[in-house]
């Protein structure tokens, strides 16, 4: 009998990390996965870095105790606050973290203007400041703290065309339009919740371009595929052989029913969830 595939843990404050989960599943269909959402404390993006660090360390400890051999911190805010502390506290566990895609955006922009859509805590972190210092020195970086975006995804009931569609168009447009008005041709999604708002981001871009026929093309950067590729690389280094069907489970510190309802909408298939008290 072969050795079981090593378990991958995926952590986020809420459902946003499912944007990373789906990329990992696409790249590593054989991987067993455990997802943990700390919805008792969502959103992280408006909490202090110290508080986010403590919450993330506690969650990672639970995932490791459950048997996870690789832990993906599928949250930009948690990565910015806790990644160094996680690696120091759990030195034998590989951690894969998120960071805003400043580097590819800097290499791609033609106008020299990059818009960063993120949470306030991510934008004031040293990790983010280091990225901007390294890759954004000759660029105009416009930071847009997207208040309300995380909460909108956390309560999402359906996709484009739903009753909530008009409210989402307004919420997203209010953040995206000012960036386009300042000539941004590259938008960075600096939170794992935000890819689930991409249809409305694209709508805002299309509306701007329709109103400004000479407007340039706009590229949206989502770091989730790159994180999934790195996770696959780390996971393969631990993998020998395997038997059976990969097990996948979802846990939340909030409402299991609510998580299951929203996650099923976001992923497009039924998602069972269990309640965890940390």
Active-site amino acid positions: 75, 191
DSSP 160: T
To the question of whether residue 109 is assigned a binding role by annotation, the answer is no
Characterise 224 by phi-psi region: left (phi > 0), alpha (psi -120 to 50), beta (else).
alpha
To the question of whether residue 89 is assigned a binding role by annotation, the answer is no
To the question of whether residue 255 is assigned a binding role by annotation, the answer is no
Within 13 A of 193's CA, how many CA atoms are on the CB side?
Answer: 28
Tokens for 242, please give them. 């395997």
Q: Kindly calculate the radius of gyration of the chain based on its CA atoms and give it in whole angstroms.
A: 19
To the question of whether residue 76 is assigned a binding role by annotation, the answer is yes
To the question of whether residue 13 is assigned a binding role by annotation, the answer is yes
**Contact between residue 248 and residue 33 where contact means Cβ atoms under 8 Å apart:** yes
Q: 67-70: long-range contacts (C-beta < 8 A, 24 or more apart)?
A: 67/7, 68/7, 68/8, 68/9, 68/34, 68/93, 69/6, 69/7, 69/8, 69/93, 69/94, 69/238, 70/6, 70/7, 70/8, 70/9, 70/94, 70/95, 70/96, 70/231, 70/234, 70/235, 70/238
**Contact between residue 96 and residue 70 where contact means Cβ atoms under 8 Å apart:** yes
To the question of whether residue 252 is assigned a binding role by annotation, the answer is no
To the question of whether residue 45 is assigned a binding role by annotation, the answer is yes
Binding residues: 12-13, 44-45, 76-77, 192-193
Binding residues for substrate: 12-13, 44-45, 76-77, 192-193
């Amino acid at each position: 009998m072969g050795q079981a595939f090593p378990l991958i843990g995926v952590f986020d404050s809420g459902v946003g990390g499912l944007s990373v989960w789906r990329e990992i599943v696409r790249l590593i269909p054989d991987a067993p996965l455990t997802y943990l959402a700390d919805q008792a404390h969502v959103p992280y993006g408006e909490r202090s870095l110290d508080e986010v660090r403590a919450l993330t360390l506690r969650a990672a400890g639970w995932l490791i105790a459950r048997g996870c051999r690789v832990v993906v911190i599928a949250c930009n805010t948690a990565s910015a606050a806790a990644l160094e502390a996680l690696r120091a506290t759990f030195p034998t566990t590989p951690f894969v973290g998120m960071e805003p895609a400043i580097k590819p955006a800097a290499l791609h922009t033609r106008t020299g203007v990059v818009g960063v859509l993120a949470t306030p805590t991510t934008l004031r972190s040293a990790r983010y400041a280091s990225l901007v210092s390294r890759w954004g020195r000759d660029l105009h970086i416009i930071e847009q703290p997207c208040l309300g975006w995380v909460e909108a995804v956390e309560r999402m009931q359906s996709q484009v065309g739903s009753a909530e569609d008009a409210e989402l168009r307004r919420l997203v447009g209010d953040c995206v339009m000012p960036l386009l008005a300042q000539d941004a041709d590259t938008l960075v999604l600096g939170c794992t919740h935000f890819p689930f708002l991409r249809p409305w981001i694209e709508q805002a871009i299309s509306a701007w371009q329709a109103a400004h026929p000479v407007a340039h093309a706009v590229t949206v950067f989502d770091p989730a595929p790159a994180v999934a590729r790195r996770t696959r690389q780390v996971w393969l280094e631990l993998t020998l052989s395997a038997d059976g069907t990969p097990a996948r489970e979802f846990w939340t510190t909030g409402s299991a029913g609510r998580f299951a309802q929203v996650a099923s909408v976001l992923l497009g298939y039924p998602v069972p969830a269990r309640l965890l008290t940390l």
